[in-house]
Amino acid sequence: MYAVIMAGGKGTRFWPRSRQKRPKQLLNIVGRRSMLQQTVGRISSLLPLQNILVVAGEDHGQEVRDQLTDLLKENIILEPVGRNTAACIGLAALLVHHRDPEAVMVVLPADHLITEENLFLGALRAAVAMARRQEALITLGIRPTAPKTGYGYVEAGEGVGTAQDHVFYQVTSFHEKPDQERAEQYLKMGNFYWNSGMFVWQAKVILEGIQRYLPTLYADLQKLNGFDDYYQLNTEIARIYPDLESVSIDYGVMEKANNVLMLPADFGWNDLGTWASMVEIWPKDDQHNIHQGELIALDSRRNVVYSERRLCVLLGVEDLIVVDTEDALLVCPVGRAQDVGQILDKMKQRGMEQYL
């Protein structure tokens, strides 16, 4: 069994804490350890450290190494440019398959919060057991607790089997982020689950899926097959990666394949996609404000506040996000949290790279 942790995201919607040089997964958004460190620590109870691979951006290579000093250097794979999840997963699957042609691999994003670790590990054990038995592409679906519009959804069909007392379902279809009305319909129907972006499969099975549905990407990745020398491999990655097809594994493979199964799960999952996500994580005061740092709130309700150094005072405001860092201040409505990334586009247009 291997684990592949995808740590190449930009975390733009957590600006101004998240920056190009130190994106969300490298920050201690919740707790003392970074999101990446928590993800590695969580999975390390299931398998040895030498079987954990991390795929990250080349710009963050040194920071990743500094945070994961116990990981083998050859297990930290650096992408010279981002080429979405299909390339990332395909590359990792190729490396895992080279080490063990029969290996099962777990694929996890580096920046998700999980509060019920025992339930999470139990779900992974069940998914690994099913993946060993059946040549399936398994995705973990999160039982929805509310009609969220910020998540993609997985529609479950018939139950197809069990492993370790967990029931697996055939996936009928994947659905993009819905509007509010459709999200409410999904919740009522009962067979729609949030798409967690967590997967379990045999390395050879996902490679077969990429070969079938993304043949150009597969052919290009094959140029990296068979390299045992770490430095030679990285040289070849740097050479071919910029020209790889950029597509998500969901769109490129999962939505097209007919061997996709889903394991429903409930282990306190949150993808921490925006500052608004912290409403479910940080404690609330008596006016339902949540905050990190010193805050005085008078006649102010349902605000999200992060302040690194200064006292933040709110007077007569509601439903705002306020993030105060050393060199930048963000103020926006909670309902616009998804749009924070647009600010970075405006900064690029104005040549304000020092704030990116």
In this structure, the answer to whether residues 237 and 345 fall within a common structural domain is no
Check residue 231 and give its pLDDT: 86
Domain boundary among 270, 294, 322: 270
**Coil/strand/helix, residue 285:** coil
Spatial separation of the C-alpha atoms in residues 45 and 22, rounded to whole Å:
27
pLDDT value, residue 225: 85
Identify the pLDDT of residue 97: 96
Do 53 and 199 lie in one domain? The reply is yes
Q: Are residues 76 and 126 in the same domain?
A: yes
Predicted local distance difference test score (pLDDT) of residue 268: 93
CA gap 187, 204 in Å, rounded: 35
Q: Which of 251, 270, 289 is the last residue of a domain?
A: 270
Predicted confidence at residue 292, as pLDDT, reads: 92
pLDDT at 9: 85
Together in a domain, 9 and 41: yes
Same domain for 260 and 324?
A: no
Query: Given the structure tokens 């030498």, which residue do they identify?
Result: 50
The shares of helix, strand and coil residues in the chain, as percent rounded to the nearest 5, are: 40, 30, 35
Q: Tens digit of pLDDT per residue, the chain (356 long)?
A: 999 999 998 889 999 999 999 999 999 998 899 999 999 999 999 999 999 999 999 999 999 999 999 999 999 999 999 999 999 999 999 999 999 999 999 999 999 999 999 999 999 999 999 999 999 999 999 999 999 888 999 999 999 999 999 999 999 999 999 999 999 999 999 999 999 999 999 999 999 999 999 999 999 999 998 787 888 899 999 999 999 999 999 999 999 999 999 999 999 999 998 999 999 899 899 999 999 999 999 999 999 999 988 999 999 999 999 999 999 999 999 999 989 989 999 999 999 999 99
Q: Could you tell me if 69 and 197 lie in one domain? A: yes
Beta bridge partners of 140: 263
Domain that holds residue 255: 2-270
Q: Do residues 296 and 201 make contact, with C-beta atoms less than 8 angstroms apart?
A: no
The verdict on pTM exceeding 0.85 is yes
Q: Are residues 209 and 325 in the same domain?
A: no
Give the separation between CA 248 and CA 1, rounded to whole angstroms: 24
Contacts of 119 (CB under 8 A, 6+ apart): 265, 266, 267, 268
What's the pLDDT at 164? 94
* Claim to verify: residue 124 and residue 157 sit in the same structural domain: yes
Q: Kindly report whether the peptide bond that precedes residue 16 is cis, defined as omega within 30 degrees of 0.
A: yes
CA distance 1 to 165: 20
pLDDT value of residue 226:
78
Q: Which of 217, 248, 270 is a domain's end point?
A: 270
Cα angle 43, 47, 49; round to 5:
85
Other CB atoms within a 10 A radius of the CB of residue 207 amount to 21
Do residues 108 and 232 make contact, with C-beta atoms less than 8 angstroms apart?
no
Q: What is the pLDDT of residue 112?
A: 94
Chain mean position to CA 225: 26
Domain tally, the chain: 2
Say whether both 178 and 280 belong to one domain.
no
Q: Assess whether 216 and 338 both reside in one domain.
A: no
Give me the pLDDT at residue 143, please: 93
CA distance 271 to 251: 19
* CATH number for the domain harbouring residue 125: 3.90.550.10
Tell me phi and psi for residue 17, to 5 degrees: -70, -45
Q: Which residue has the tokens 């940080």?
A: 282
Residues 6 or more apart whose Cβ sits within 8 Å of residue 320: 303, 304, 314, 331, 332, 333, 334
Does one domain contain both 158 and 300? no
pLDDT at 150: 86
Q: Are residues 15 and 150 in the same domain?
A: yes
Give the gyration radius of the chain's Cα atoms: 21
